[in-house]
Amino acid sequence: MNFGFSPEQEALRKEVLAFIKENLTPGVIAEVEGEEQEVSAGEESAGRKGLARRGPHLSELYRRIGARGWLGITYPKEYGGQGGDRISQYIVEEEFARVGIRVGLVGSGAPAILAAGTEEQKRDFIPRLISGEYSFALGFTEPHAGADLANLRCRAVRDGDEYVINGQKIYTTAAHVATHIYLMARTNTEVPKHDGISIFIFPMDTAGITVRPLVTIQNNPKAPVGTTYGAARTNEVFFDNVRVPKSALLGGENKGWRVGSTGLNLDRVGASRYLISVRRDEDIVNWLKENRHEGNSLGDDPAIRDKIAEMWIEAQVCRLMTMRSMSIVERGGNFTYEGSAEKVWAPEHGTRITEAITQMLGPYGQLMNGSPRTIEKGIFGHNVLGSFQSGINHGSVQIMRDQVARRGLGLPSQRKAQGARK
Amino acid sequence: MNFGFSPEQEALRKEVLAFIKENLTPGVIAEVEGEEQEVSAGEESAGRKGLARRGPHLSELYRRIGARGWLGITYPKEYGGQGGDRISQYIVEEEFARVGIRVGLVGSGAPAILAAGTEEQKRDFIPRLISGEYSFALGFTEPHAGADLANLRCRAVRDGDEYVINGQKIYTTAAHVATHIYLMARTNTEVPKHDGISIFIFPMDTAGITVRPLVTIQNNPKAPVGTTYGAARTNEVFFDNVRVPKSALLGGENKGWRVGSTGLNLDRVGASRYLISVRRDEDIVNWLKENRHEGNSLGDDPAIRDKIAEMWIEAQVCRLMTMRSMSIVERGGNFTYEGSAEKVWAPEHGTRITEAITQMLGPYGQLMNGSPRTIEKGIFGHNVLGSFQSGINHGSVQIMRDQVARRGLGLPSQRKAQGARK
Amino acid sequence: MDVLLTEEEMMVRTSARQFLERECPTTLVREMEEDSKGYPPALWQKAAELGWQGMSLPERYGGQELPLVFLGLVLQEAGRAVAPLPLHSTVTAALTIAQHAEEKLCEAILPGVAQGKTVLTYAVTELDGRTFADTVQTQAVAEGNQFVINGTKLFVDNFVAADHMLVACRTAPGSRGNSGLSLFLVDTKSPGISHTPLVTLARDKQSEVLFRNVRVAKGNLIGTLNEGAPIIESMLERGAVLLCAQMVGAARKDAEMAIEYAKYREAFGQPIGAFQSLQHMCADQIIWIDGGELLTFEALWLMDQGLPASVEVSQAKAFCNEKCEIAVRHSQSIHGGIGFMMEFDLHLWFRRVSAWSMKLGTTYEHRARIAHALIDLPGRVVLGRPVPVVAEA
Amino acid sequence: MDVLLTEEEMMVRTSARQFLERECPTTLVREMEEDSKGYPPALWQKAAELGWQGMSLPERYGGQELPLVFLGLVLQEAGRAVAPLPLHSTVTAALTIAQHAEEKLCEAILPGVAQGKTVLTYAVTELDGRTFADTVQTQAVAEGNQFVINGTKLFVDNFVAADHMLVACRTAPGSRGNSGLSLFLVDTKSPGISHTPLVTLARDKQSEVLFRNVRVAKGNLIGTLNEGAPIIESMLERGAVLLCAQMVGAARKDAEMAIEYAKYREAFGQPIGAFQSLQHMCADQIIWIDGGELLTFEALWLMDQGLPASVEVSQAKAFCNEKCEIAVRHSQSIHGGIGFMMEFDLHLWFRRVSAWSMKLGTTYEHRARIAHALIDLPGRVVLGRPVPVVAEA
């Protein structure tokens, strides 16, 4: 057991912090805060190029981060990475995420490409995902396929050297700014549902794609940077006879479920989910201690102090579970249940601290971004509306507990038991 | 809505309290504390007569209570009751339960006899249950039929004018002191499990019955009066060719499930389950306020104060849910989910307050009855071991939540849904 | 002891529910979120015709003089419909006027309230953010026949719609805690009053209100000079418990929507409502909401009997703050992604219940009051019998 | 950063587990509950041969000088087997002696500990019941070459088995809080010591120990006179975190028994472990126990690095107190009636974990320490970086 970072890793963190201090200019901050612009009503056409979405300051910042080799540290050098360790990547992710800048390829689709892509796909996509030239929208969920993702209906039909795609995706975050879509579609309707799914990657400006914005409740008014799910607009995406070459297929026809699951599993490791679950703990403690005045501060309220300590401990467990997941990945191991456990504990903690804070701040907790008298730009109020989303997305806490029980503890599933008794 | 008691009910409570003050002599208290004697090892023969188990002081006390008409207030006058209202009965139950004396017929089997018994059975049993001459052990649970009670295997086979009973019951509280057993047995093995069950009532001194004591973990050392499940020894009961007349049948052959369910439902109303869930709240508040000393009392600890208030509110909800159940019964209505809701909330609260107290009292919370330095005779330590039992017995909180969801809210059951899709 | 509704109570509830189902669709709720006043005067007028504003006001001012439990039932329905009406702030202030103001003031204000012509509010909370009167810093200084008010009030409900407001002020210079406080009726249009709208979770109308040398006639004092604390506290308590009624009503409707959704929405070949974990979430929702409702109406009933109810109010609010919030969060979770979208209506309930959980006393504030009553005052406690009343500070 | 066990750590754990599975059946556990000393000397001796008592003691006294995480692993296994050994009290005291006592005392005591000849304990808590040193009232007064001790200690673990104990005393008359305290090594057989056994939930051996003019040589002082508080605090912290290791070990075994039972026990035509509500209970058990284990070993690891760990110890104990308790209560619930019977073994774990949750600091005590560090000391907090150390009072 080693709960510390190596001297090299500590040095890296210092370097990253120094870099941030130097490079987080007001221009960058303004662009970070404005990055996810107001959602305009109505439809808009898809297909803006990745890098183009960034303002000049952010583009320059990412260029510099890339020059340090901090984008995609764990990826092989031949694909634009550094061949480095996952912990170092984590450190970089964490420190940039703390200032609202997303670094690293968690949730990018890159892990699945590395695992299942052709050499050509790897050489095409991974370096460009690392550099930020490309970014993927993840086209998974459909109106009737959320938790039960394998139930998806979006169809891809082979037609010569092409596939023709028809259907709809929903809650497709970043579809309006991504260069490509990473799409799960049904290629066979005659087999059990998990066995007829394929993954395609193709540009968002392919003809026949329509993106319709969806405004989330956390983002109206616009959520401040750092809110759990606030900075992301989401979308519906419609596919109307979208024709893509068969080279868009990732990992073989009808193999999509396994390929996609790989991606989802890797998606659960990293700084991002952990940080969104615990940022409010840090925020409230720091706010309490920086807002003490004689006699009557909230920081002196003993019930609040007790709750703060309780929550802080829970947050430490979030951190330690994340470190455990990182340790497993770093050793090249596979999760039995640890990733699922982390994904129960962290989101539920995030909700508990969020709701606990409402009872600390009282009426101030209702104030939203842009209001007079807000505390921390209204982040606590916005967070009430979104913290629980982290316990729903990418496998709900219920499904995660099922997985802990079944994969981790070997408890039987109900249907099989019934079948076995017949 | 009326959250108060009528002047008559208030007067009754005063009368009961005055009666208790006058009659709760040291002799009575000694007998109450000794009533459930140490469990001797080994087997013992069954069939002691009901009244005989009481010492002279308790017998006299019950005689006096009976003379006031407080035993079985709600039962019809022709069966020895008062034809009174359920709230009055509740008041009497509550005040006597507070001093460790069980009054009233909750869990006695009497409701089922009144609902399903023959005139002869009613005239035989109900007056004697009211007077305490008779008491029933409830023979429901078996080693393989607990939560899934309908799975019971204890067999009763018709043989002329008799039934011959073979099998085993477990956790049969009071089997060693009851005059009769109220037994659920299988009379038909060829039909769906709920449709082959009958109920029999017969004396515990019937030949072929063996009672083996089971010591509960809460009762070792002997739990002080008022512990959640401490004052009850329990038993296994074995039936070896026990022959009973067919007149022992209650409510018709194979009708036992419905008859028994009636009994169970009524069992869930009353002062007893409510009080065992909330007594620790009162105990700890009173202990805290009576043990204040300068500067450093637990009652001054603000985190403890916050928790005390949280728990007190929960206890009030226990009370109000009990009052709701009483109101429904008093109006002659049926529960949809309210009884089940009460049976989720109260036991879980009982466990929460019990465990919260461990963290208030610290090492004192570990001290058991008979130890030097105990607080309240060690009731808090004993309670740790038993409070959760209230969430298991007579339908676990899981099953109760299922019932709230299905009966109360109309949510579908999983199997039917699967069937419906085939 | 019969905690179930009487036929009359049932009737009031049913008619209120039917009225709002008819008159208050969610399109209106959304529209009023953008409206500058935040409420539709026509609906306000109709509510008055049904007697809502005057429900518990004396008959001589045009009220119905019904017990507070009836008013609670109406507010529960207002919560259920998330009705955009300034009902809560109006009745909270009006009941205080009716109970404590001199006849002349009552006559001037209350008939207009009962007729739906007048909107009221109250202003106690200041920069400190806490609910109770001891945090008041706003000063009112006597000058001739007037008091001159200076200070800042925050989170004033419906200021933009209100004609008058009750303002808690410190009238004894240098006083602290609950001493030296007074309550005044102030015309919201008085010179020297300015306001800034706040942007809130509920998208309701709350304001920061600045008082700069605002003059109010001495006759507008409610109760006795410097002894306003009990009046202010009882106003806040009544406000808190009536807000609980709204919360419970809104949370129940919200839970019902989730339960219905769970019956219809399928996943893994089942309605999601067939999964035990989801069933247990729904069961908990109902258990919590029932608990909040029972606590709320017990407190209202005690007030109707003229019995002490401070502890019971705090019980209700502390419980509803936490449990109604979890209940509506469960509804969001049960709805998955769709509930997170502005275009779906569910958030109309979620945002309001969440916001109300932060107003008129946090869980910690209310629990501290309960603990004080339980532990610091003499005498053994017995559940089901009155706890000693919170002593005046 | 690698929070998983190294091969060496795995080996220590496995060998401890195998040893106890072989040597410590539940029959022995039950037998020792009735035993007057509460432990089997033969097993104690064998444990010494495996190096347990001396695991983290210096090699020069016969120890292995391994990091505390190794000792934590062994105590975790002792908890798993609910082994009736006075290991926890012995190592808690021995490590304090090794760290703070003068060479002579170390030489006198520690080799016997490492050899399994000596049992130790510590006595801090008094009538007040709270854990930390500021509650100490027992007096030690200098008299010639001796100190004379008068006072009463409560909840002294394994007093009946112990040869020596560390006793926290107030040596500066009239001192309060954490000042004026000293720690002494006292022979349990000294004249003037008497004791009363306590009847405890864990059925372990705890005593009330009365000191009447008990004389102890000045050389038995541990550390500097009147400046014992940091030594006592660090002893209690080490004791608390090592107790967490025991709790986590016991709770995990207990949960595993429930999970196995759930796979086999049938109801409603299914193994009960097929019901989602029960699966979620089991999942929570493991999540909580994992969390407690991670917190515990992080604290031990920090101590091994010589880094401040007070906050981390309090984190572990506050969390384990609540979560291990709920976890073992879940196991009881999963077992239904059978788990409530003395003849079934499950309670051996349940009773111990419950009892340990009440010792060496309650959840509230530990949280107050954490809150102090988080809120009262200057500087912004960042999760994952050290929180300011709790300042001396």
Q: What is the pLDDT of residues B157-213, one digit of tens each?
A: 999 999 999 999 999 988 988 899 999 999 999 999 999 999 999 999 999 999 999
Q: Are residues C150 and C96 in the same domain?
A: no
C306 CB-contact burial (10 Å; exposed 0-12 / middle 13-18 / buried 19+): exposed
Residue A313 has pLDDT above 90, yes or no: yes
Cα(B70)–Cα(B65) distance, integer angstroms: 6
On whether residue C393 sits in a domain, the answer given is: no
On whether residue C350 sits in a domain, the answer given is: yes
Cα(B327)–Cα(B321) distance, integer angstroms: 10
Query: pLDDT (tens digit, 9 = 90+) per residue, B276-317?
Result: 999 999 999 999 988 876 656 788 888 899 999 999 999 999
State which H helix or E strand residue B345 sits in: helix B338-361
Query: pLDDT (tens digit, 9 = 90+) per residue, A184-210?
Result: 999 999 999 999 999 999 999 999 999
Instruction: Tell how strand D206-217 and strand D193-198 pair up.
Output: antiparallel
Query: pLDDT (tens digit, 9 = 90+) per residue, D320-379?
Result: 999 999 999 999 999 998 999 999 999 999 999 999 999 999 999 999 999 999 999 888
CB atoms within 10 A of CB C350: 27
Q: Which of C54, C85, C118 is the last residue of a domain?
A: C118
Distance from CA of C275 to the nearest CA of A (A): 10
Q: What is the dihedral of CA C61, C63, C65, C67, to 10 degrees?
A: -130
Handedness of CA B201, B204, B209, B214 (dihedral sign): positive
Residue A51 has pLDDT above 90, yes or no: no
On whether residue D2 sits in a domain, the answer given is: no
Cα(C370)–Cα(C316) distance, integer angstroms: 11
Interface predicted TM-score of the whole assembly (ipTM), two decimals: 0.94
Q: What is the mean pLDDT of residues C125-132?
A: 90
Nearest residue, CB atoms, A302 vs list B303, B415, B418? B303
Asked which of A37-41, B333-337, D246-250 is least confident by mean pLDDT, the reply is A37-41
Q: What is the mean pLDDT of residues A388-397?
A: 86
pLDDT-derived band at B333 (thresholds 50, 70, 90) equals confident
Q: Which of C118, C147, C182 is the last residue of a domain?
A: C118
Under an 8 A CB cutoff, do A306 and B302 touch? yes
For residue C51, the domain's CATH number is 1.10.540.10
Q: What is the mean pLDDT of residues B203-232?
A: 88
Residue B348 has pLDDT above 80, yes or no: yes
Q: Which residues pair with B185 in a beta bridge?
A: B198
Residue B239 has pLDDT above 60, yes or no: yes
Residues 90-149 (C) with a CB less than 8 A from some CB of B: none
Residue B49 has pLDDT above 90, yes or no: no
Asked which of A234-243, B61-70, B181-190, C217-226 is least confident by mean pLDDT, the reply is B61-70
Q: Are residues C27 and C157 in the same domain?
A: no
User: Which CATH number is associated with domain A137-254?
Assistant: 2.40.110.10
Residue B384: C-alpha distances to residues C384, D328, D349 (Å)? 24, 11, 13
Chain C residues touching D276 at Cβ < 8 A: 275-277
Instruction: Say what the pLDDT of residue A270 is.
Output: 78
Residue C240 has pLDDT above 50, yes or no: yes
Q: What is the mean pLDDT of residues D100-115?
A: 97
In three-state form (DSSP H/G/I as H, E/B as E, the rest C), the secondary structure along chain A is CECCCCHHHHHHHHHHHHHHHHHCCHHHHHHHHHCCCCCCCCCECCCCCCHHHCCHHHHHHHHHHHHCCCCCCCCCHHHCCCCCCHHHHHHHHHHHHHCCCCCCCCCCCHHHHHHHCCHHHHHHHHHHHHHCCCCEEEECCECCECCCHHHCCCEEEEECCEEEEEEEEECCCCCCCCCEEEEEEECCCCCCHHHHEEEEEEECCCCCEEEEEECEHHHCCCCCCCCCCCCCCEEEEEEEEEEEEHHHEECCCCCHHHHHHHHHHHHCCCHHHHHHHHHHHHHHHHHHHHCCCCCCCHHHCHHHHHHHHHHHHHHHHHHHHHHHHHHHHHCCCCCCCHHHHHHHHHHHHHHHHHHHHHHHHHHHHHECCCCCCCCHHHHHHHHHHHHHHHHCCCCCHHHHHHHHHHHHCCCCCHHHHHHHHC
On whether residue C32 sits in a domain, the answer given is: yes
Q: Are residues C220 and C240 in the same domain?
A: no
Q: Are residues D249 and D212 in the same domain?
A: no
For residue D258, the domain's CATH number is 1.20.140.10
pLDDT-derived band at A105 (thresholds 50, 70, 90) equals confident
For residues D354-378, one letter each, b for 16 or more C-beta atoms within 10 angstroms of the residue's C-beta and e for the rest, the string is: bbbbbbbbbbbbbbbbbbbbbbeee
| Residue B50 DSSP symbol | T
Residue among D57, D61, D120, D111 at smallest CA distance from D85: D120
Question: Who's near C341: CB < 8 A, 6+ residues apart?
Answer: A214, A215, A216, A217
Q: What is the mean pLDDT of residues C309-327?
A: 98
Query: pLDDT (tens digit, 9 = 90+) per residue, B379-412?
Result: 999 999 999 888 888 789 999 999 999 999 999 9
Cα(A417)–Cα(B302) distance, integer angstroms: 50
Residue B59 has pLDDT above 90, yes or no: no
Cα(A388)–Cα(C183) distance, integer angstroms: 41
Helices and strands (H, E) in chain B, number of each type: 13, 8
Q: Which two tokens stand for residue C204?
A: 């309701």
Query: pLDDT (tens digit, 9 = 90+) per residue, D253-268?
Result: 999 999 999 999 999 8
Nearest residue, CB atoms, D200 vs list B171, B368, B389? B368
Phi, psi torsion values for D149, nearest 5 degrees: -105, 135
Give me the number of domains chain D comprises.
3
Residue C262: C-alpha distances to residues A144, B409, C267, C276 (Å)? 13, 11, 10, 12
Residue among A293, A279, A338, A265 at smallest CA distance from A115: A265
On whether residue D1 sits in a domain, the answer given is: no
pLDDT-derived band at B102 (thresholds 50, 70, 90) equals confident
Asked which of B256-265, C347-356, C358-367, C368-377 is least confident by mean pLDDT, the reply is B256-265
Cα(C369)–Cα(C173) distance, integer angstroms: 26
Q: Are residues D279 and D160 in the same domain?
A: no
Which chains share 3+ C-beta pairs under 8 angstroms with C? A, B, D
Q: Does B286 touch chain C (CB under 8 A)?
A: yes
Instruction: Return the residue matching tokens 């990475």.
Output: A81
Q: Domain ranges in chain A?
A: 7-134, 137-254, 268-417
User: Which residue, among C279, C296, C313, C323, would best test binding to B if mutated, counting the most B CBs under 10 Å from its CB?
Assistant: C279
Average pLDDT, chain A: 88
Contact D314, D367 (CB under 8 A): yes
* Closest-CA residue of chain B to C319: B313
Chain A residues touching D258 at Cβ < 8 A: none
Cα(B129)–Cα(B201) distance, integer angstroms: 13
CB-side exposure of C259: number of CA atoms within 13 Å?
A: 24
Under an 8 A CB cutoff, do A363 and C358 touch? yes
Contact A310, D367 (CB under 8 A): yes
Asked which of A263-267, B418-422, C131-135 is least confident by mean pLDDT, the reply is B418-422
Under an 8 A CB cutoff, do B306 and A302 touch? yes
What percentage of chain C reaches a pLDDT higher than 90? 93
Cα(B361)–Cα(B347) distance, integer angstroms: 21
Instruction: Say what the pLDDT of residue A47 is.
Output: 41
Residue B173: C-alpha distances to residues B374, C147, C151, C197 (Å)? 28, 73, 68, 66
Instruction: Say what the pLDDT of residue A33 is.
Output: 83
Cα(A43)–Cα(D17) distance, integer angstroms: 64
Q: Are residues D236 and D206 in the same domain?
A: no
Longest CA–CA separation in chain B, Å: 77
Q: Are residues D325 and D184 in the same domain?
A: no
Q: Are residues D180 and D98 in the same domain?
A: no
For residue C197, the domain's CATH number is 2.40.110.10
Q: Are residues D368 and D327 in the same domain?
A: yes
Q: What is the mean pLDDT of residues C89-104?
A: 97
On whether residue D393 sits in a domain, the answer given is: no
Domain limits for position D175: 122-227
Top-confidence residue, A30 or B168? B168
* Closest-CA residue of chain A to B419: A415
User: Which CATH number is associated with domain A7-134?
Assistant: 1.10.540.10
Q: Are residues D171 and D223 in the same domain?
A: yes
Instruction: Return the residue matching tokens 């969430």.
Output: B391
Residue among A196, A229, A226, A199 at smallest CA distance from A116: A199
pLDDT-derived band at A49 (thresholds 50, 70, 90) equals very low
Q: What is this structure's pTM?
A: 0.95
User: Which residue, among C268, C275, C276, C279, would best test binding to D if mutated, counting the most D CBs under 10 Å from its CB?
Assistant: C276
Q: Are residues C259 and C309 in the same domain?
A: yes
Q: Is the peptide bond before B221 cis (omega within 30 degrees of 0)?
A: yes
Q: What is the mean pLDDT of residues D149-175?
A: 97
Q: Are residues D200 and D319 in the same domain?
A: no
Q: Which of C97, C118, C139 is the last residue of a domain?
A: C118
CB atoms within 10 A of CB B203: 16
CB-side exposure of A212: number of CA atoms within 13 Å?
A: 10
pLDDT-derived band at B416 (thresholds 50, 70, 90) equals very low
Instruction: Say what the pLDDT of residue A244 is.
Output: 97
Instruction: Say what the pLDDT of residue C373 is.
Output: 93
Nearest residue, CB atoms, C351 vs list A170, A301, A385? A385
Cα(C111)–Cα(C133) distance, integer angstroms: 28
pLDDT-derived band at B220 (thresholds 50, 70, 90) equals confident
Instruction: Say what the pLDDT of residue A268 is.
Output: 59
On whether residue D69 sits in a domain, the answer given is: yes
- Indicate the class that CATH gives domain A268-417: mainly alpha
| Residue B408 DSSP symbol | I
Residues of D with CB under 8 A from a CB of C: 275-277, 280
* Closest-CA residue of chain B to A418: B415
Q: Hey, do B7-134 and B137-254 end up sharing a CATH topology, with the first three levels equal?
A: no
